[in-house]
Structure 1
Amino acid sequence: MKKTKIYGLSAALLCVSVLPAAFAEGTDTTELTEEQQYQAWAESFLSEISPQKGTITLPGGIATLEVPENFYYLSPEDSARVLVEAWGNPEDELNLGMLFPANYSPLDMAAWGVTIDYEAEGYVSDEDAADIDYGDLLKEMQGDTRDISKERVKMGYEPIELVGWATPPSYDPANHKLYWAKEIKFGDADENTLNYNVRVLGRQGVLVMNFVANMSQLGEIEASRDEVLALANFNDGNKYSDFNPEYDKVAAYGIGGLIAGKALAKTGFLAAALILLKKFWFIILLPFIWLKNLIFRKKDA
């Protein structure tokens, strides 16, 4: 597996006042300005992570990435450091790593990344893909979001609004890959939040890839999306076409369920409060009620 160090370092500062505690405790910074402290920490941080390119088998061995020269991959451990130490997210379980565009280091202000996870929820049937009215689904999700926003305010959080599709859902039935993006507004924030999702369907679950970026970066994300979609694939034995109905588990939802937030079914509405965001921001996940409504509506029909 080829490893390539990334040397780019933005001169722009993040929030200097929240330098990682480990660096602050282990280094004498009393003679340094805040900018110098950040610069020293940033150089140390970048020297300790190991970007990788080429063929990468993801942890667990079920899928492989073919990372081209214009991207790089970080291991789960390195990705956790980026998400927590550099981007200010709370600690969580390790994912399967992250992808980054090669023209950015993780510390560049304009940097964006793609988190990678796997959800072994079973084989997701795509039989409903052609029948989904995404306009109707959006209206329902917006209504549910208004209800959830009221609960957030009661809990002391800022209100949330699902503005609309930043990119409408699109499913590729030949390659069993799906993407969509939502534009979300939190409180009185000057810039809306981008929640961009990619899903790769497999025999026993779904490869989950989420872009961690700002709304202003939508054009750049759109330009890179197809390449990101193409570089991730399940290995033999785990592909969608390997599904055996006699032995394999079938998920309780279809394509509509993925878009409606089926991942929250395991944790419930209140527990699933956050997903990863860049630069010390946080975003609520797709609410469980979207999935619940979709599933119960299907049962009633």
Structure 2
Amino acid sequence: MTRTQHWFAAVICSFSLAASIVQAQGSEPQALDEQAQIQAWIQQFEASLDRQTGTISLPNGVATLNVPEGFYYLSPQDSQRVLVEAWGNPESDPPLGMLFPAEKSPLDSDSWGVTIEYSDEGYVSDEDANEIDYSDLLADMKASTRQESEQRVRHGYEAIELVDWAAQPYYDSVEHKLHWAQELRFGDAEENTLNYNIRVLGRNGYLLMNFIADMNQLPEINQNVDSVLAMAQFNEGHRYDQFDPEYDKYAAYGIGGLVAGKVMAKTGLLAGALLFLKKFGVFIVVGLGALVGKAFKRSA
């Protein structure tokens, strides 16, 4: 059985258990084929996604992606549906798009993706790039993440913890591209989440490109990070070396401030798996989440 089939089976098993609990409590069970219903939703969702390759002009007009055949790009609208409807993230402003490896669907159990966003907070000076103590910076970031976690919990979402660097920050002073990776823990999850961050610096701001994956996918991400880094380029008039201090604004922080920014705490498919059960009108009783978490554990 493939990972995707295991994922389907876990959803169906959980759905059936919840339905049987509802029936035992006296409610009328819905006369529907749960497996067919779930699979129909999955097929409809995947068919509705417009996978794009080649030259992609990002919606804000400041940058372009050159997406090779080994990947595909999803529009802001499709990306928002993946993040919220399929992966169960909180509602937020849509990204500029997402990237996925060509051989994976967003609904595959071993799927990973890259969100693309833009910040227009100004020109980020890289003068501090060689002066940062990343051990001290990590300690500060852990404290900041604890505060963010308290906000998430108050709004009904899982707690989040910054565990460690998964890859220490690296800045390419020629291409003006920065990347690093964080190991995150959501709630009581048995497996931690990988948050791999890329920042592409421009004249008036920067692109944020963040991998959303599990820690056990770090070797695969490491194999693909150079390809993703190479895709994004700022358009003429928006490039880093075209900054004019007489007319353009500086950002309020440098490279260290970029790394220490708010954790991009979006999660992948498995963290939002119970959303499928909610879509079909079944209310889950206490304890089912633990069962599903075990059933959904990503293993070979």
- Measured against the shorter chain, the TM-score band is 0.7 to 0.9
Q: 1:162 to 1:203 in 2, by over 3 A?
A: same
SS in 2 for 1:124: coil
Shift of residue 274, structure 1, vs aligned partner: 7.1
Shift of residue 146, structure 1, vs aligned partner: 5.4
The 5 Å alignment of 1:152-301 reads 160-261=160-261, 275-279=265-269, 281=271
The 5 Å alignment of 1:1-301 reads 10-11=4-5, 12-13=7-8, 15=11, 32-145=32-145, 160-261=160-261, 275-279=265-269, 281=271
SS in 1 for 2:108: coil
1-structure distance, mates of 2:154, 2:79: 34
Q: Which amino acid aligns with 1:281?
A: A
**2:106–2:269 CA contact under 8 A, matched in 1:** no
**1:183–1:192 CA contact under 8 A, matched in 2:** yes
**2:195–2:264 CA contact under 8 A, matched in 1:** no
**1:134–1:168 CA contact under 8 A, matched in 2:** yes
Shift of residue 239, structure 1, vs aligned partner: 0.5
Higher relative contact order (CA 8 A, sep 6+): 2
Cα distance per residue 1:176-196 (max 9 Å; x no partner): 000111112244321112121
1-structure distance, mates of 2:101, 2:211: 11
1:293 corresponds to which residue? Answer: none
Q: Which amino acid aligns with 1:95?
A: P
Q: Report percent identity of matched pairs.
A: 58
Cα distance per residue 1:277-296 (max 9 Å; x no partner): 112638xxxxxxxxxxxxxx
Count matched residues. 253
1:4 corresponds to which residue? Answer: none
SS in 1 for 2:130: helix
Q: Which amino acid aligns with 1:69?
A: E
Q: Which amino acid aligns with 2:196?
A: Y
**2:180–2:196 CA contact under 8 A, matched in 1:** yes
> What 5-or-longer segments of structure 2 have no aligned partner?
16-29, 273-300
TM-score norm. by structure 2 comes to 0.77
Structure 1 vs Structure 2 CA RMSD: 2.6
Q: 1:185 to 1:231 in 2, by over 3 A?
A: same
